[in-house]
Structure 1
Amino acid sequence: MPVSALGLRPDLAKVGSEIRVVGNDAGEKLSILSGVISRLDRNAPEYGDGYCDFNTNYIQAAAAASGGSSGSPVVNIDGYAVALQAGGRSDGAATDYFLPLDRPLRALQCIQQGKPITRGTIQCQWLIKPFDECRRLGLTPDWEDVVRTGFPKETGMLVAEIVLPEGPSHKLIEEGDLLLKVNGELLTQFIRLDDILDSSVGQTVSFLIQRGGEDIEVAVDVSDLHSITPDRFVSVAGGSFHDLSYQQARLYGVACKGVFMCEASGSFRFEGTDNGWIIQTIDHKKTPDLESFIEVMKRIPDRERVVVTYKHLRDLHTLNTGILQVDRHWSSKMRLAVRNDISGLWDFTDLADALPPTPPVARSAKFIQLENSQHPAAADIVRSFVRVLCHMPVKLDGYPRNRKWGMGVVIDAEKGLVVISRAVVPYDLCDISITIADSIIVEGKVVFLHPLQNYAIIKYDPSLVLAPVQSAKLSNKQPSQGASTYFVGFNTNMRLVAAKTTITEITAVAIPANAASPRYRAINIDAITVDTSLSGQCGSGVLIGEDGVVQALWLTYLGERSQSSSKDVEYYLGLATPTLLPVIKKIQNGEKPKLRMLSVEFNTIQMAQARVMGVSEEWIYKVAEDNLSRHQLFMVRKRTFERNSESGALLEGDIILSLNGKIITRVNELDVMYDHEVLDAVIVRDCKEMYIKLDTVSADDLETDRAISFCGAILHRPHHAVRQQISKLHSEVYVAARTRGSPSYQYNLAPTNFVTHVNGKPTPDLESFLKVVIKIPDNTYFRIKVVTFDNVPWVITMKKNDHYFPTTEWIQDPSEKSGWKRITYEMGNAVEGEGKEGIRSVVGDDVGDFGDVGGADEPMSFKSSF
């Protein structure tokens, strides 16, 4: 198709000229808005913390454009482009702002002639200020007369607004100085000033300024603007860094130097905001620029803990100090990206291989002692608590964070076994750090994840711990309502609190599901609540008896995302210990628990309901005799959709009467399913009593053991939470998360979608999906057919981008030290580990419900103020 060019005529932009904005107003593809130019000397507005125009005037007109038209040509009645649409008011006014085309025209001519586009700067921001304000700043009547005579249509002059420290104009030009002449030429506009600076890079320019009525002439060296505009960045340990840009330096009025963290993720996920940090030192070594930062990071081994000091651009008065663990195993490459102005790409270079971890050494420590403790049992249990920090490098299973901490309970000190909430350790693609006695830090690994009861068992090397760690004694008796107990927990400040209390209730609870992005939640459990306000302040702890035996674990249960606060709701509840004992015993004997389960979610019904639903009087009598404290049965609330569903499985509305001959009136009596492949069940369905055989499913099949990162999207088999909330699986290629800035984000391949076809070829599972996508050439468009969580099919087109977002596969592999193997596909070939290209960022930082992409829970940072 022939393309027509628009002539650029910045000289035709005049006050009163009628113009048309030919743009994409409100994303409506094509719009033509009319207006009249009202000003030519409007200062560029501040758009926020990102990129802002400055040292240029804007053209103002009332065109009523909205979002989508930025960059659109502003044409006059003769069809010439006189400006570019840049922005507008967001408060309902019709005012729009246009960028003059004088300097863009000059850049275009340089490109056409094959010349470099030189840009000069003295690191000083100027603003146009009216003569009235200039007089208040010290403009003398003589100079005002000279300027007005030389430029009779001008209404103001250029005034220094910000002079960057340590820049070329520092100590020569001050804020509030009035610009009179440059190289002896009288000027009042940015266009001529830019022309002089751009043609004088590396030279000295004379400035005549007026300060408080006094004429001052200074000679200022003109530096290269390109030299303070980052054209390279380095990715290491999950974070990305470059030299502080002129844009950010000007915005905050600081010297244009320092290492700026543009992607705060991985090891460098600091508390608070995502970016804006300036790294001061790492491992007690100064990092004044990117080169020194690279040299320091090269010498730090994998998994090493180092001290880092940093400041935020918004608060340079505060020096923050933190401790981080350098991750060079999930993010093994230290990669330099350099902008290639010829190809338009950023070229990647590997700088250094990761140094192997320093061998751990055994360390000794003592536990704290509770002062004035009136509860001997609480004082002794201190030696069974450890702090657990879990870092997840890849977002799986809809989990909203990539870092979480909590307190775990040591259940076998000799073997190094710890039980912890699954709200802290959601899956095993993670790094676990265990802190013992607030002193010794050891690495941990996942041993077991319970599919329903919200706990995980992790393991550390006990030979590295020379401290009197005590194994918590777990009770084999179910606690009872109304019984006295001691509550010992850790509040949000990691302070140990204790109180004597009473068990108020033991009841089956239903943790609300998160509709926007399904993630792990506990089901089919009895939850314990206690009569103390401390229970609502503590996400970790235990309930212990007078004899020091642990009756229940106090755990954090991850619930839904609040619609009002957009924060995840966490429930703090107790879990009775007897249900853990069979699993713990197998692990202690060196066995890996292989649990079976019924793929359904139950809720309780009372006898009045049961009678209406067809339960006979004989069974109602048996229930009353079997459970004196709570007359209840269990009804199937939701059937988990399994890949190999059998016609004889339970259906929604079925009531369980007995399993393997045992009447079921308590949640813990459902535990019989964990050890049997087939259960003999008596149920009531549609008011009819039935005897059926129920097949159980393997709990291992519910855990994610393979994931694919494709075009920035994380895809894996639908995890258990998805199966709990959906009635039909459209395919086994489920979008769990996506990375910001990736093709999947750009083309809206959203989390919770199911991919059913690629380029018309069915993709029922991950294997078929991978075979299709690796054959797609780079930088080509392809079709994806997806089905939403609500059963709506649709088709999107997406452009593959292997340069920045290569196809990567994560496979669970017990032979690997980390437990997972990584395979990268380059040009259709499989390469173990990281490939030669690709941006290293948070893998899947958007889980679909605007979840927190970080982990502000990490407590290991200190600051004097914030």
Structure 2
Amino acid sequence: MGRSPSWDTLQDRLRSSILSITSHTALPFDTDDSGTSFATGFVVDAEQGIVLSNRHVMGPGPSYHQGTFFDNQEVALQPMYYDPEHDFSFFRYDPSELKGPAPKAIRLAPWKARSGLEVRLIGNDSGEKMSVFWGELSQLDRNAPDYSSPNSCAYSDFNTFYYQASTSSKGGSSGSPVVDVEGDAVALNAGGKVHSSSSYFLPLERVQYALEYILRGEIPPRGTMQAVFQHITYTQAGRLGLEQSAAAQQGACIEGPTGYLTVHKVLSEGPADGRLVAGDIVITVNGAPAHTFPDLARTVDASAGSSVSLCVFRSGEFATVNVDVQDLYAITPTALLKVGQSYFSDLSFQFAVCSSTSLAGVNVFSRGNGFISPSQLNGRSVIHAVNNQPTPNLQALMDVLRDVRRGEQMVVHAKSHTDPRDEAVFVTSCPMADLPALLYTRSVATGFWSIEPFAGLAMPEGTDRPGSLPRVAGSEVDALCKEMSEAAVSSTDVVSGVRNSIVYIVAQAICPADGHGNNQRDGGGFVVDKRRGLVLCSTAVVSNPTSNITIIFGGTVRVHATLAYVHPLYPIAFIKYDPALLCDGLGPAIAVHDMPLTGGTGANRLTIGESVTMVNAACSGIAEVHEAVVSYRYLISTASCDACYSQRFFNIDSFELSLGSAAAGIKIGAVCGKDGGVRGLWIKTPRCTHGENQTHGVPYIGVDISLVLPSLDRLRVSDTPPDAIRVLDVEFCRVEFSNAVALGVDPSHMRSVVQAAPTARSFLSVEKVLSVRPAGLASLEVGDIILRIDNKVVYWIDDIACFYDRESVDLTIVRRGKEIVLSVPTSQVAGSNTRRVVFWAGWYLQEPYQQVFQVASRVASQVFSFVWEFGAPTAIDASIFDMFVTDIGSDAIQTLDDVVRAARRLKSSDRAAFNDRVAKNERMPGGTMPGSNTKIHVVQLNGEDVIESVRTNDHYFPAWQLVRGPRIDDEWVWEEL
């Protein structure tokens, strides 16, 4: 006689059937964003290698997955099928890949589910293997949980019951089997409440229905009326006026079921629009009682492409309505267009239900650059028209974009998905130099997505050099520009001179670099050399060196520009445009003026109490004038935010202005003295890359114009960036006179400082040493007080903060109470003018920049990465970032050239063949994608060595590089490796 099954042996019996799943969502699609997650699945057919998990584990978009059995055997999982509506999906692995015993399939037994049934939830909770939770099924007729929030459309199931039980499972348990004592699955774990022990299980009736088709190699028929139903109790129906006896006469079954289905939502322009109304209570479908979701689903799925007849109770009366049933797959998106970091797809049924809108328009999600930026649209939105041409679907949008050239302006009409009143009409353009536009198409047979270049957004015809925008000449705009220029020439005062040099700048980043991600920045700037086409702006505008830059002159003319130079120490940048584009006969006849700069000596610094006039480059380059007073001067050093490693400001003697609230929000302003020239800049500083905090604690700083002029002078005579900047590589603070004597400073030095700067009451002292010099080489130490440099009294930080081409300086200092003289070598500053970025396995790799050297314990190589792409192979361990790469496989890595050689060596030879098979919809045995297993060795900023293994994905994450030449007007060039 056989022994009865017991819970004690359940885990041993099931462990071979359960997998931990690592899911990589490569691109944003539908309601999902890209990213990496961990979950559970279990084998439901061992012969074909079919694994059941959740839809939200697989995701509807381009993705790839890895499964690990309990005995640590790994298999590649093919995203075989996901239900367009319900939270389940099927993966496939190749059983021949397994070297050990074959797993046993867990039987689906939806008929066993009953209230009070004791169950176990077995999975990989929080990434831990074989976590087991006890529970007892309570509710069997709960409506599907809604995971969306008022401001987002997260995936949520509907038109199905859910089971509820109390367990303490959390993330990682998604896709776990909910089993009875005999080891049969009675439900699929799907979700739960964060702040309670309530878990939600998906019933398996429709899962089993789909599996029967999947095992035969078929797609399960699925139908929809584009309506959402909810379950209500008999008591709730009675309150709505429905009597049980009357319902029974219409065919309702009042024994067994616990209530009715009622219409919750009907999508406009869908099959049920005008036929079903919210609040309708369903009595029968095609003459049969339909009290439960399975009753309704069986009939609707069987009627895809035809119609059904529903008897409903509406406003106290019974009515019979005929509703067409649409093929659910016909409204499930299978294509994705990627332009830069903007992603476009058809609006899905899920999205339409979440936002209560019709299935019309193109869903757009922007993470950064592209022709739609996050600043223009808030999160996910729906585009309804481009260039006044309706875009009801992705194909219509692509038809419009095929006739649009890069750099051409487009008018976009869009709405927020969460608030139909949030409507926007704006002008935008696709950047000139950018990553290629790609079209992804899903293969039904494999679940993978083929990739092909999008035949649209071509470069303008007749472009004489990469990046030049289409020219507009001989038009009314041309005449208007000329009139505006003539009016500007007639003004001669300093405010007008500044006003006539103002331009408006828009910068779109191509990819992450120098501590900054994919972003768009905009703000004002000033023309400082119209002959060379040089414009001065804040690094808050061009924070990323890979930016595509557009300059707008006079609010009328748009000209492409390049990033000429970013100062490694100060928050200033120069951009360059081609002056020929503004010449009469070649382009719009608009004249620009050089900003009137005043001298470059320290003696011309602004002083406390001095009255100034600030001319602000406001929105679209329109000038605003504010009267102000220099209220304070203070020393700024390295940023307090150590999490960013983006550009910081190093030893600046800044000034503060007394400005009213009307001047709030200024990104750059020219501070004009009474002598008739610009003597300073009022600059907005860049934000942290991980939040809204400013990099040094204050949003604006005043910078003397003397800090700008040395770089400008070099740009005026050279076509290459002036990177020959040297520093003492320390940070300074001020020591008040009251403490200086106690530290050993002779009082006579106080008199010398006051004579040099009458308002001075302090010395400069070393606060932090940023790099340790080799033994025997003279260097500064923390606490050193600086008295003189080259026998000249030091008070202003400008005297010792930044040197040009000086390899050493003579300093008189006080150290430990003694006055000494040192000849201190200076250090070359690593420029913030990155000209190469390599993308491999999801990492953005570049040479280290200045702020990295300031915080790194050791510089292990000249290859640094601070960010990886979401969903990429290298994103598995989220704790590994901000690091130097030293080894990729068997290749030692010291330079970016080493990375390129390693990427080409590891590149899969069957990538093109794989893409071709996916495009032809050919069936594949498993989920192996083109790529290579390789070891990586990295060194984190704290000096810790980390060794990991990854499998690259050459299909969704091919290696490429962006390279820019050495000249200040060279363009970025994209190249696949």
Give yes or no for TM over 0.5. yes
Determine if contact 1:702/1:719 at 8 Å carries over to the other structure: yes
Residue 31 (1) aligns with residue 161 (2): no
2:640 corresponding residue in structure 1:
513
Name the aligned partner's letter for residue 305 of structure 2: G
* 1:596 is the counterpart of 2:725: yes
Deviations 1:198-219 (A, max 9, x none): 2222222222222234332223
1:442-500 Cα distance to aligned partner (Å, 9 max, x none): 22222222221221122223344433432222111222222222233256797744333
> Which residue of the other structure, out of 491, 506, 527, is the alignment partner of 1:410?
527
Q: Equivalent residue of 1:584, what SS?
A: helix
Deviation at 1:761, TM superposition (A): 5.7
**Separation in 2 of the partners of 1:481 and 1:264?**
44
Runs of 4+ in 1 over 6 A off after TM superposition: 492-495, 561-568, 642-646
Instruction: Name the structure 1 match of 2:348.
Output: 245
Write the distance in 2 (CA, Å) between the matches of 1:10 and 1:233.
36
Residues 175, 562 of structure 1: alpha-carbon distance in 2 compared, 3 angstrom cutoff: closer
| Aligned counterparts of 1:292 and 1:775: Cα–Cα separation in 2 | 41
Q: Counterparts in 2 of 1:91-110, with a 5 A limit?
A: 91-92=195-196, 94-110=197-213
Is the partner of 1:558 in helix, strand or coil?
A: coil
2: CA distance between counterparts of 1:650 and 1:109? 77
Q: Is the 8 A contact 2:861 2:893 kept in 1?
A: yes
2:400 matched residue in structure 1? 296
1:207 aligns with 2:310: yes
Q: Aligned equivalents of 1:515 and 1:565: distance in 2? A: 12
Higher deviation after alignment, 758-767 or 98-107? 758-767
Structure 1 pair 752–492 and aligned structure 2 pair: CA distance change class (3 A): farther
Q: Find 1:14's aligned residue among 110, 114, 127.
A: 114
Match of 1:821?
973
| Equivalent in the alignment of 1:317 | 421
SS at match of 1:268: coil
CA distance in 2, matches of 1:240, 1:81: 38
- Say which of 724, 728, 736 aligns to 2:866: 736
The answer as to whether partners of 1:238 and 1:327 remain within 8 angstroms in 2 is no
Q: Residues 536 and 817 of structure 1: is their aligned pair in 2 closer, same or farther, counting only changes over 3 Å? A: closer
In the alignment, is the contact (CA less than 8 A) between 1:559 and 1:568 conserved in 2?
Answer: no
Structure 1 position 254, deviation (Å) = 1.7
2:597 pairs with one of 474, 478, 483: 474
Q: Corresponding residue for 2:447?
A: 344
Given the alignment of the two structures, is residue 807 of structure 1 paired with residue 959 of structure 2, yes or no? yes
Q: Work out the CA distance in 2 between the residues paired with 1:717 and 1:71.
A: 42
Q: What secondary structure, in the 3-state scheme, does the structure 1 residue paired with 2:875 have?
A: helix
Would you say the 8 A contact 1:21–1:75 is kept in 2? yes
Aligned partners of 2:545 and 2:832: how far apart in 1?
A: 13
Distance, in Å, in 2 between the alignment partners of 1:568 and 1:655 is 24
The answer as to whether partners of 2:504 and 2:522 remain within 8 angstroms in 1 is yes
Q: Provide the residue aligned with 1:157 in structure 2.
A: 260
Shift of 1:173: 1.7
Q: Deviations over 1:245-304 (max 9, x none)?
A: 001111222222221113454221143765331111112222121111101111111111
Per mean C-alpha deviation after superposition, the further-off stretch among 721-730 and 652-661 is 652-661
* Cα displacement string for residues 133-160 of structure 1 (whole angstroms, at most 9, x for unaligned residues): 2233342443444589835221201111
Aligned to 1:668: 798
Residue 656 of structure 2: SS of its match in structure 1?
A: strand
Residue type of the alignment partner of 2:106 = L
1:380-436 CA-to-partner distances (Å, cap 9, x unmatched) read: 532122112222111111125611112112222333322111222235321111122
Kindly indicate whether the alpha-carbon contact (under 8 Å) linking 2:375 and 2:520 is maintained by their aligned counterparts in 1.
Answer: no
CA distance in 2, matches of 1:360, 1:732: 41
Mapped to 1, the partners of 2:776 and 2:390 lie a distance apart of 64
Structure 1 counterpart of 2:637, one-letter code = A
Q: Distance in 1 between matches of 2:659 and 2:832?
A: 36
Alignment RMSD, CA only?
3.2
- Which residue is 1:795 aligned to? 947
Residue in 2 aligned with 1:430? 547
Please tell me whether the aligned partners of residues 723 and 831 of structure 2 are also in contact (alpha carbons under 8 angstroms). Answer: no
* Letter in structure 1 aligned against 2:897: E
CA–CA distance in structure 2, aligned partners of residues 629 and 268 of structure 1: 51
Which residue of structure 2 lines up, in the alignment, with residue 524 of structure 1?
651
- Mapped pair 1:131 → 2:234: yes
Q: Map of 1:150-229 to 2, 5 A cutoff?
A: 150-229=253-332
Matching of residue 483 in structure 1 with residue 610 in structure 2: yes
Q: Is the 2:646–2:689 Cα contact (8 Å) retained in structure 1? A: no
Question: Is 1:449 aligned with 2:577?
Answer: no
State the SS of the aligned residue for 2:382.
strand
**CA contact 2:514–2:832 (8 Å) conserved in 1:** no
Matched, 1:232 2:359: no
The answer to whether the Cα contact below 8 Å between 2:511 and 2:518 also exists between their aligned partners in 1 is no
Partner of residue 703, structure 1: 833
The size of the alignment, in residue pairs, is 820
Distance 1:45 1:34 in 2: 21
Counterpart contact for 1:641–1:726, Cα < 8 Å: no
**Residue 186 of structure 2 is aligned with which of 82, 101, 105?**
82
Residue 339 (structure 1) shift: 1.0
3-state SS in 2 of match to 1:39? coil
Q: What is the deviation of 1:376? A: 5.8
Please list the CA deviations of residues 10-48 of structure 1 after superposition, one character each: whole Å capped at 9, or x if unmatched: 000011211111123344332211122122111111111
The 5 A counterparts of 1:579-590 are 579-590=707-718
With over 3 angstroms needed to count, the CA separation of the structure-2 counterparts of 1:436 and 1:136, relative to structure 1, is same
- In structure 1, stretches of 5+ residues that fail to align are 826-866
Paired residue secondary structure (1:444): strand
Q: Is the 8 A contact 2:534 2:577 kept in 1?
A: yes
Give the structure 2 partner of residue 111 of structure 1.
Answer: 214
Structure 1 residue corresponding to 2:160, chosen from 43, 56, 76: 56
User: CA, structure 1 residues 618+760, in 2 after alignment: closer, same or farther (shift >3 Å)?
Assistant: farther
Match of 2:470 among 351, 359, 368: 359
Residue 376 and residue 354 in structure 1: after superposition, are their counterparts in 2 closer, same or farther (change >3 A)?
A: closer
Q: Secondary structure at the match of 1:208?
A: strand
What is the rounded CA distance, in whole Å, between the counterparts of 2:803 and 2:239 in structure 1?
A: 85
What do residues 157-190 of structure 1 show as CA deviations (whole Å, max 9, x unaligned)? 1111111122222222222222122222122111
Answer whether contact 1:561 1:568 (CA < 8 A) is retained.
no
Distance 1:667 1:683, change over 3 A: same
Task: Tell me, yes or no, if structure 1 residue 277 matches structure 2 residue 400.
Answer: no
- The aligned amino acid for 2:393 is D
CA gap of 1:430–1:559, structure 2 versus 1, over 3 A, is closer
- Compute the displacement of 1:775 (Å): 3.3
Q: 1:389 aligned to 2:518?
A: no
What are the superposed Cα offsets for residues 651-689 of structure 1, whole Å, 9 maximum, x if unpaired? 444444443443332123237721323434444555555
Paired amino acid for 2:351:
Q
TM-score by length of 2: 0.78
2:937 aligns with 785
Compute the displacement of 1:818 (Å).
Answer: 5.2
Read off the aligned partner of 1:467 and give its amino acid letter. Answer: I
Q: Structure 1-normalised TM-score?
A: 0.87
Change (3 A) 1:51 1:294: same
**SS of residue matched to 2:158:** coil
Return the alpha-carbon distance in structure 2 between the equivalents of residues 156 and 569 of structure 1.
Answer: 60
Quote how far apart the aligned CAs of 1:727 are.
4.0
Q: Which amino acid aligns with 2:131?
A: S
Change (3 A) 1:711 1:151: farther
CA distance in 2, matches of 1:438, 1:533: 26
Distance 2:754 2:511 in 1: 49
For 1:662 and 1:566, how far apart are their aligned partners in 2?
Answer: 35
Distance 1:248 1:754 in 2: 41
Cα shift at 1:367: 5.5
